[in-house]
Each structure stands twice: as structure tokens, then as C-alpha cells.
């Protein structure tokens, strides 16, 4: 049975039993504690913990998940996969243990021809918590399981919690006996390879208190509403139903593995280490496909770094198997064909996905060439010095400058028998992150807040009455004042605090749009609103600075958005939509927004593209955007269900999370139709103008456009006009001839530079003859040492060529600038035949620094004051060689 069929049978089974089918949430999650969804219950967490009211009493889903904590184990064992799918059914205060057990048993054992999975009931084992006699009795009664196949286990295995105070409860797991060929008899307590777990039923019925680890925390009592959270591993069920050994051999992964084996001429099962690399490729290519499909782009931080690491591990694994050409164009389409039956979007979006993936591989191949040279040199230096550990600073350099993930440095160093100072690397990374955090704190000086204090406010008062779409002012009441240390009774002039209001007109930062600015005023207080966020679903928090008077809980205030600020924000956000549509009009549908930011007067938009657009394409995009503004396209906002929006063709932008009801913003109807929660103008002409101010690279295969809009856009164009006017006046040329006039000046400057270089070269040649005539002997070689103001390499080569070619000759020329010195060494052919190497001499002179060839080499970066001593050391160094 194909994995896609297993998936659809699961959803059909629970839909027929009153469950609402909920689509998989995107892999990037808004949960601040996670980078990606890592369990099937994550999208339902607010309903299970009571933070939000569930929209349905029971639900079912097949949730995409990514776990990367044990990524080094991927491929080394057949249990670990970084991408997996979790089939789940959920009850929010509706049914409980009896129904959950019955549903799981029915689907598992119902014959295939009747819509089930057809597992043999006599080979299924269940585990229960050792104190959960109710579940044991239900397995006996509902499934007719004998006691010997119902195994009692302790808290470590069969009691669930999220690791923090909140819901918890016993769980019951289902295992399938795969036969004596795979291990010992005796059930899952004896051998979990033979007995494969395929379903876990969590019975949330208690509330736990503080405590660490899986045991030892207090149980505070029963939950007011008991919930069900179950998870059936889709890949594990596919392993069972397809009769294969592990998740790497099911229909969604094995074709990728087979293609990698064919490319590399490797037979799967023939060599243990090669098998590991093939499994890494199969897993990582599929994971990368799904992450890219959900809008994650390769980068150096957070989610982007995880994706970059996964892609690069896949590419390097193929290279280690002997395939040196680009591999992803051969492998990614195979993964697409495997996953498209369950996720059609991977086929629909494949051009965009492939563009980003292939650009990342191209960049990594270049990085690998440069970084490998640096790493090999560093490892050689460590070994020459008798060491066994690569310094943390060198590992950090590889990460920070060459884009080498630390795990890649660890792998490559280990292959050469060298360890890495991981602690030193981690310390340097920590310093870099702390600098970034300090920058962020400098921009927003409100400090971190206690989430439990925020949740208490939400529980006590309900969601914020949010009026940002309707008005710029509300009469509001202060519900809470919070600071980094907790709840505050009052905030005085000059102090900054977080204010929770019962209602607010302020837009909270989201969807790329900056938060509103404005003020809170009351009978005895004036306060400036600095920032607005949504720290919890439904709760709006205002960071304010009290400028006069005092602000206390219970105060009545007028909350007022700065009207000019909001107008600028609306212009920028609508301008972003317009620019996005213009970009897709000019470049095609793969130029899909991958990130954006807009504030009054300014916008930026990131999109996947290989290579710079160039002046002509930028002008075409800008013109298409401004033509849309000139046509004064209508801006319409509609609410509808997510399926309706998708059917309408609305673009769902990656990295965003959408609910059941979504807000569709149209500019000119289908010309620009996106899901968006931001604020917008009523007509396109109100944007004013879109003036592109820059284009840049923000990573492999990712470009960024920046633009000014509204008054700021007109101001930018006015400044450009004034600059052109000044240049025309200074160059005494009409504006339409400026480009030609500047080009002519540049040509003349280039010619002057070439003439000056030629004069310097002739002077160097004249000096070279003089220096060569004064050569002295050391160790059987003729040696010249000297300093040069510039172009030391030219002088070194010229001196070398003027030394008698019948004898070994060496020219060493030093130069200094900015307090640092550089040394260039050139050796003639006779010297090289006698065993002299320019690269070797440089490294000996500079303690391992520098590089080049036997003919000419260079090294530097040492203090300029040390240059005379370095040159004096040349003759002694050569004297110890005694070539003569």
C-alpha cells in the first residue's frame, strides 16, 4: 500500500467518525520555542493547553514534522529521519480513552478491502502506564488482547507531558511483531526492532506542577476538560504495510536512495559506510524539498541555517560517494515525484524550489573548494606542530567566512584524524549571538517578559478587543502593567513598561508590517507607544514610555494611532503587494515573495532568483509597479475560508500561519491577490510612487529589492534629480549626455592609471637591475632582499629574472601599509631544480602563514615593524640549506 493511500485511509477513517480534517500546518511554526513543527500536536497546542478555544470538538490531521536534534544519527541508524509525517486524531473535551482505543484498533485491524490497514491482530502488542488499569481493561474488552500482550511500563515510557507545568497523562502505545528474523521474542520491553511502535495514544487527564525530567514532578489534580492526542507514524506504518525493513526503503524515500546509488555506482547493502551516506542523501533531499516547499530559504540563522546544513550534508554525501557533478538536479525531481501524490504543492512550486536548491548547491560547491583549502592548511599546521585539535577560532572562521557548518568541519577534520575545539567555537558563536542580542536590545529596550504573567492576563480578561482595521482611536482601560521583573502597580515618567489594554486600535507587528506608533493619554498621564506585539494568540501588548504623569492599572486612556504613521504604513504595505505583482509580471511566477518588511515610506521584498536582475529588468519592474498605481487599481479586502481562498488563486506567502478564516487582499482583482493581515490603502494611487532604491543578494539564490514609497518615494526621486542637476552643472553637459561624459572621464582615468602603472613597472625594472647586480650568496644561492613602496610582486619577479640563470636565485621583497607587512618570494628555475620552493620559504619565514607556488609565493599580516628582521632572516634560513 502506497504511503499516500495510508495517509488518505487514516483521514477517511476519522472523518467518518465525526472528526474535522485539518490540513497540515506549514513546517515553520510561530511557536517561539520551536523552529519547525516537530510533533503532530504542535498546531493544536493552544487548544490542548486551554490557551484558545478549539473550533471543533474533535479533529484529525496528517502533520508534516522536522526534527534535527539528532541529525548526526540520520542514516547511521534506520530509526532516525529528519522529516516525518504524524497521523493524529484529537479530542478536545469530547471523547476519551474508550473511543480512542476503539478507533485505533478498528483502523489497524480492519481488512484492507474494507478501508483498514489489515494488520494481524495476533501480532499487535499494547503498552500501558503501570497505574492505568482502566486502559488495560479497555484493551482486553475492546480488542480482546490477552494480558501477556499488554505490557505495563513506568513514567519514562508511558507518561506524557510537555516538560513544563500543564497538561499531562498516561499513554498507551501499539507495537507490531515483525517476526523472529528481526530479533528476540518477548514483546517491546525485550526488543523494539522486532516489535515496532506504530501508534501512541496520549490520555491528557491531569495537570502537573514544576519539575525537571520525565519523572519527579507533582500531579496537581484532574484537568477540567480531558483531551486525546494520538500519533501514528506514517513512515512506520508504511514500513509495515510495504514489507520493508525501515523508513529508508518505503516508496517515498527508496527511489531517491536508488538514484543516488546509480549516480555514484554504489550498491546499497554492499558497504556499511556507503549505506549510511546513501540514507543521508535519501532523507535530506526529501527534507529539503519539504522545507523549501513551505517557504524556508537557505540562510545563516535559524530555520535557514537548518535547511542549509541539510542541503550541504546531502551534497557532500554524494561527493564522498564519488559523484562530483551537481547532484540535486538529479535527485530533487525524484523526491518531488515521490511526495507529490500527498503534497501536490511540491509539484506546483517545483520551479521555485529547484531554483533555490540548485543555487545553494552551486554556492556550496564553490564554498567547499575554498573552505576545504583553508581547512586542509589548518589541519596540516596542527599536525606539523604535533597537535591533535583544530583551534575553535579556525572553526569559527570556516563557519563565519566560508559558510562551513560546524558539523561539516567536525566531519572533515575527523576524516583527517584531528579533533576540533568545540568549546572554543561555541564561545565565539556565543559572543557573536550576544552582540546581535545587544543590538536588538538597543533597538527595543523594553526587556523580556514572563510568559506566565501574560497568560494570566489573557486568562483573566480574555482576548484583546482589536480594532486596528476599523479605527485609529479607542477609549480603553489598562488591564495590566508588566516589566522584566513581573507585574507593576504603576509606571512613572521616564519609565518603559508593557501595557495590556482591554481594546486597542494599534496594529501589532506581523506579516512584515511594522507596528503602529502613537500615544496613550489619560487624565493624569501621557505615554508614547514604542512597539506593539502579539506575545500570545489573542493578546496585544504595547511597549510604552511614560512622558508625563503616572499610568496605573484600571486607568481609562485614549489610545490613538499616529495618523501619518498609519498612512505611511498602509502605503508601504500596499506598495509591497504592488511590487510583488510587478515582479511576477516581469520575471514569472517563480519570483515569489520569500520575506518582506515595510514601515512608513520604506519597503523591502526578498525573492528567489539566481543572479542580479540588472538595470533593464529593474527598470521594467519599477515601471510595471508605477503603471499599476497610475491605473488607480481598486483595493478590496474579503474574508473567506482557506480552501475558498486557494480556489480563488490567492497567494499564501511562505512563513505565515493562517487560520480557518483568512483575509484576502486584492489590488486590481486577480492582478494581485494575496492572503494578508496588514493594513492597506483604498486605491492603488494612494501609494503615490514606488521608487526602487536598491537590489542586493541576501544569500545563495535569494535577492532583495528595496524601495521608497509615498512622500519618501517622491523625496528620493527629488534627490536623484538634484544630484543629476549638480553633475550636469559640474561637467558642463546636458543631462541626456551625462552618461557618455562620465564614461569618457572613466576611460581617461583608466588610461592614466595604465600609464602610471607602466611608469612604475619601468622604474621597478630599472631598480631590479641594480638590486640583482648587488646580490649576495647564502647557502649556495644568490639572494636579494629589499623593500618596495608598492607592487612588491612585480619587483620580486623582475629581480629574479635578472639574476644569473645558471645559479639558484631568490628574490625576497617586502612592503608595508597600514601597520601591516607583506613579503613576496620569487625563485628562479635553477633554484627550484635545486629544491628551493617559494611557498616553503614563505611559510618558514612567517611561521606557517602564506601560500603560493614553488615559483612565487606571498604571506603577510604581521606587524610592519617586524619587516626588517624578517628580511634579515632570509640569508640565515638559506645558509642552513647549503645548496652549494
* 884 in a structural domain: no
pLDDT class of 444 with cuts at 50, 70, 90: very low
Indicate whether 440 pLDDT > 50: no
More reliable by pLDDT, 738 or 120 = 120
pTM for the full predicted model? 0.66
pLDDT at 301: 76
Q: What is the mean pLDDT of residues 858-881?
A: 86
For residue 334, CA distances in Å to 138, 596, 774, 789 come to 45, 31, 69, 59
Domain end marker among 704, 722, 740 = 722
* 788 touches 814 (CB < 8 A): yes
Least confident of 43-57, 64-78, 490-504, 605-619: 64-78
Same domain, 133 and 191: yes
In tens, the pLDDT along 221-232 reads 888 889 999 999
Give me the helices (H) in 774-882, please.
792-802, 829-833, 838-845, 867-879
Least confident of 123-127, 236-240, 415-419, 541-545: 415-419
Indicate whether 552 pLDDT > 90: yes
Same domain, 239 and 299: no
- Phi, psi of 620, deg, nearest 5: -65, -40
More reliable by pLDDT, 657 or 775 = 775
pLDDT at 158: 92
* 117 in a structural domain: yes
- Using only C-alpha atoms, the chain has a radius of gyration, in whole angstroms, of 34
pLDDT at 514: 94
Rounded CA-CA distance 70/82 in Å is 8
Least confident of 135-139, 605-609, 612-616, 849-853: 849-853
How many folded domains does the chain comprise?
5
- For residue 806, what is the domain's CATH number? 3.10.310.40
pLDDT at 436: 54
Give me the helices (H) in 340-446, please.
345-348, 350-384, 392-402, 406-415, 422-443
Indicate whether 812 pLDDT > 70: yes
Same domain, 860 and 717: no
- For residue 608, what is the domain's CATH number? 3.30.980.10
Distance of CA 293 to the CA centre of its chain: 13
Same domain, 220 and 315: no
Same domain, 234 and 265: no
Indicate whether 882 pLDDT > 70: no
Same domain, 556 and 592: no
* 811 touches 799 (CB < 8 A): yes
Q: What is the mean pLDDT of residues 225-241?
A: 94
Rounded CA-CA distance 269/276 in Å is 10
Least confident of 236-240, 407-411, 692-696, 797-801: 407-411
Most confidently predicted of 434-438, 503-507, 780-784: 503-507
- Partnered with residue 168 across adjacent β-strands are 161, 206
* 731 in a structural domain: no
Binding residues for Zn(2+): 573, 577, 676, 680
Same domain, 397 and 265: yes
More reliable by pLDDT, 850 or 482 = 482
In tens, the pLDDT along 143-170 reads 999 999 999 999 889 998 877 778 889 9
* 447 touches 484 (CB < 8 A): yes
* 219 in a structural domain: yes
pLDDT class of 883 with cuts at 50, 70, 90: low
In tens, the pLDDT along 163-199 reads 777 888 999 999 999 999 888 999 998 998 899 999 9
| Residue whose C-alpha cell reads 500501558 in the numeric block | 128
DSSP letter at 149 equals: G
Q: What is the mean pLDDT of the chain?
A: 88
pLDDT at 240: 95
* 571 touches 667 (CB < 8 A): no
Least confident of 172-181, 203-212, 499-508: 203-212
Indicate whether 644 pLDDT > 80: yes
Binding residues: 573, 577, 676, 680
Most confidently predicted of 293-302, 368-377, 559-568, 858-867: 559-568
Q: What is the mean pLDDT of residues 568-589?
A: 94
Same domain, 199 and 318: no
Same domain, 371 and 474: no
pLDDT at 789: 80
Cell digits for 363? 554556492
- Phi, psi of 676, deg, nearest 5: -160, 140
Same domain, 707 and 802: no
pLDDT class of 446 with cuts at 50, 70, 90: very low
- For residue 466, what is the domain's CATH number? 2.40.30.130
Same domain, 24 and 144: yes
Percentage of the chain beyond pLDDT 70 is: 96
pLDDT at 441: 44
* 780 in a structural domain: yes
Domain end marker among 540, 561, 582 = 561
Same domain, 555 and 573: no
* 741 in a structural domain: no
Domain end marker among 440, 460, 486 = 440
* 591 in a structural domain: yes
CA angle 702, 708, 713 (to 5 degrees): 155
Closest to 352 (Cα-Cα) out of 310, 295, 307: 295
* 820 in a structural domain: yes
Least confident of 250-264, 380-394, 527-541: 380-394
Indicate whether 764 pLDDT > 80: no
Least confident of 410-414, 725-729, 833-837: 410-414
Domain that holds residue 78: 3-249
pLDDT class of 445 with cuts at 50, 70, 90: very low
Percentage of the chain beyond pLDDT 90 is: 53
Rounded CA-CA distance 754/746 in Å is 12
CA angle 346, 604, 609 (to 5 degrees): 40
Amino acid at each position: 500500500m502506497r504511503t499516500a493511500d495510508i495517509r488518505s485511509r487514516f483521514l477517511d477513517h476519522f472523518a467518518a467518525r465525526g472528526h474535522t480534517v485539518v490540513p497540515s500546518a506549514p513546517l515553520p511554526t510561530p511557536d517561539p520555542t520551536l523552529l519547525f513543527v516537530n510533533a503532530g500536536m504542535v498546531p493544536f497546542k493552544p487548544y490542548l493547553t486551554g490557551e484558545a478555544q478549539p473550533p471543533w470538538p474533535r479533529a484529525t490531521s496528517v502533520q508534516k514534522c522536522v526534527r534535527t536534534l539528532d541529525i548526526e544519527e540520520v542514516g547511521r541508524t534506520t530509526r532516525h529521519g529528519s522529516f516525518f509525517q504524524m497521523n493524529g486524531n484529537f479530542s478536545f473535551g469530547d471523547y476519551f480513552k474508550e473511543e480512542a482505543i476503539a478507533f485505533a484498533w478498528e483502523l489497524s485491524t480492519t481488512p484492507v478491502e474494507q478501508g483498514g490497514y489489515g494488520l494481524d491482530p495476533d501480532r499487535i502488542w499494547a503498552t500501558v502506564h503501570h497505574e492505568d488499569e482502566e486502559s488495560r481493561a479497555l484493551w482486553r474488552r475492546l480488542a480482546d488482547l490477552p494480558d501477556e500482550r499488554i505490557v505495563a511500563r513506568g513514567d519514562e515510557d508511558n507518561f506524557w507531558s510537555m516538560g513544563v507545568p500543564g497538561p499531562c497523562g498516561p499513554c498507551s502505545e501499539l507495537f507490531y511483531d515483525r517476526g523472529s528474523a528481526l530479533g528476540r521474542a518477548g514483546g517491546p520491553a525485550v526488543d523494539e526492532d522486532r516489535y515496532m511502535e506504530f501508534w501512541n495514544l496520549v490520555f491528557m487527564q491531569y495537570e502537573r506542577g514544576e519539575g525537571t525530567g520525565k519523572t519527579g514532578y507533582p500531579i496537581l489534580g484532574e484537568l477540567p476538560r480531558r483531551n486525546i492526542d494520538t500519533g501514528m507514524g506514517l513512515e512506520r506504518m508504511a514500513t509495515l504495510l510495504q514489507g520493508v525493513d525501515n523508513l529508508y526503503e518505503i516508496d517515498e524515500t527508496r527511489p531517491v536512495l536508488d538514484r543516488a546509488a546509480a549516480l555514484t555506482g554504489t550498491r546499497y547493502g554492499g558497504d556499511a559506510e556507503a549505506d549510511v551516506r546513501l540514507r543521508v542523501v535519501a532523507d535530506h533531499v526529501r527534507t529539503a524539498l519539504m522545507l523549501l516547499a513551505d517557504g524556508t530559504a537557505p540562510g545563516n540563522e535559524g530555520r535557514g541555517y537548518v535547511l542549509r546544513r541539510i542541503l550541504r550534508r546531502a551534497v557532500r554525501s554524494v561527493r564522498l560517494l564519488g559523484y562530483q557533478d551537481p547532484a540535486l538536479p538529479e535527485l530533487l525531481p525524484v523526491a518531488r515525484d515521490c511526495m507529490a501524490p500527498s503534497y501536490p504543492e511540491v509539484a506546483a512550486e517545483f520551479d521555485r524550489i529547484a531554483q533555490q536548491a540548485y543555487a545553494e548547491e552551486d554556492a556550496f560547491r564553490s564554498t567547499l573548494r575554498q573552505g576545504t583549502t583553508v581547512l586542509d592548511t589548518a589541519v596540516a599546521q596542527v599536525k606539523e606542530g604535533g597537535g591533535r585539535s583544530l583551534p575553535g577560532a579556525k572553526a569559527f572562521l570556516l563557519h563565519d567566512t566560508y559558510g562551513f557548518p560546524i558539523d561539516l568541519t567536525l566531519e572533515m577534520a575527523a576524516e583527517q584524524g584531528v579533533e576540533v575545539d568545540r568549546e572554543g567555537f561555541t564561545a565565539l558563536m556565543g559572543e557573536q549571538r550576544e552582540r546581535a542580542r545587544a543590538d536588538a536590545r538597543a533597538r527595543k529596550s523594553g526587556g523580556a517578559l514572563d510568559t506566565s504573567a501574560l497568560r494570566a492576563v489573557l486568562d483573566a480578561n480574555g482576548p484583546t478587543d482589536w480594532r486596528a482595521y476599523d479605527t485609529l482611536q479607542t477609549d480603553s482601560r489598562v488591564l495590566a502593567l508588566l516589566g522584566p521583573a513581573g507585574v507593576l502597580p504603576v509606571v512613572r515618567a521616564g519609565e518603559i513598561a508593557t501595557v495590556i489594554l482591554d481594546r486597542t486600535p494599534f496594529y501589532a507587528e506581523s506579516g512584515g508590517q511594522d507596528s503602529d506608533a502613537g500615544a496613550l493619554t489619560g487624565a493624569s498621564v501621557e505615554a508614547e507607544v514604542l512597539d506593539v506585539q502579539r506575545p500570545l494568540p489573542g493578546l496585544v501588548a504595547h511597549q510604552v514610555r511614560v512622558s508625563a504623569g503616572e499610568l496605573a492599572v484600571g486607568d481609562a486612556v485614549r489610545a490613538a494611532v499616529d495618523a501619518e504613521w498609519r498612512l505611511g504604513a498602509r502605503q508601504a504595505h500596499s506598495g509591497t503587494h504592488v511590487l510583488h505583482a510587478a515582479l511576477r509580471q516581469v520575471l514569472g511566477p517563480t519570483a515569489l515573495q520569500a520575506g518582506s518588511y515595510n514601515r512608513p515610506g520604506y519597503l523591502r521584498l526578498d525573492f528567489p532568483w539566481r543572479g542580479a536582475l540588472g538595470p533593464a529588468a529593474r527598470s521594467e519592474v519599477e515601471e510595471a509597479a508605477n503603471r499599476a498605481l497610475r491605473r488607480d487599481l481598486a483595493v478590496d479586502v474579503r474574508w473567506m475560508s482557506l480552501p475558498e481562498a486557494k480556489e480563488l488563486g490567492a497567494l499564501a506567502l511562505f512563513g505565515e500561519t493562517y487560520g480557518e478564516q483568512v483575509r484576502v487582499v486584492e489590488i486590481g482583482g486577480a492582478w494581485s491577490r494575496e492572503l494578508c493581515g496588514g493594513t492597506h490603502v483604498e486605491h492603488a494611487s494612494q501609494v503615490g510612487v514606488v521608487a526602487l532604491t536598491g537590489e542586493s543578494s541576501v544569500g545563495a539564490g535569494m535577492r532583495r529589492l528595496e524601495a521608497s514609497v509615498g512622500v519618501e518615494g517622491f523625496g528620493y526621486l527629488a534627490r536623484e534629480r538634484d544630484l543629476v542637476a549638480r553633475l550636469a552643472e559640474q561637467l558642463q553637459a546636458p543631462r541626456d549626455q551625462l552618461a557618455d561624459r562620465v564614461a569618457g572621464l572613466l576611460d581617461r582615468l583608466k588610461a592614466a592609471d595604465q600609464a602610471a602603472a607602466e611608469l612604475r613597472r619601468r622604474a621597478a625594472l630599472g631598480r631590479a637591475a641594480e638590486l640583482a647586480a648587488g646580490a649576495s650568496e647564502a647557502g649556495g644561492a644568490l639572494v636579494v632582499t629589499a623593500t618596495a613602496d608598492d607592487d612588491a610582486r612585480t619587483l620580486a619577479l623582475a629581480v629574479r629574472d635578472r639574476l644569473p640563470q645558471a645559479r639558484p636565485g631568490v628574490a625576497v621583497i617586502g612592503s608595508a601599509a597600514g601597520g601591516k607587512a607583506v613579503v613576496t618570494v620569487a625563485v628562479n628555475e635553477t633554484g627550484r631544480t635545486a629544491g628551493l620552493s617559494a611557498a616553503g620559504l614563505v611559510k618558514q619565514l612567517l611561521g606557517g602563514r602564506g601560500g603560493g607556488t614553488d615559483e612565487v609565493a606571498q604571506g603577510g599580516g604581521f606587524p610592519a615593524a617586524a619587516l626588517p628582521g624578517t628580511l634579515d632572516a632570509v640569508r640565515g634560513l638559506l645558509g642552513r640549506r647549503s645548496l652549494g
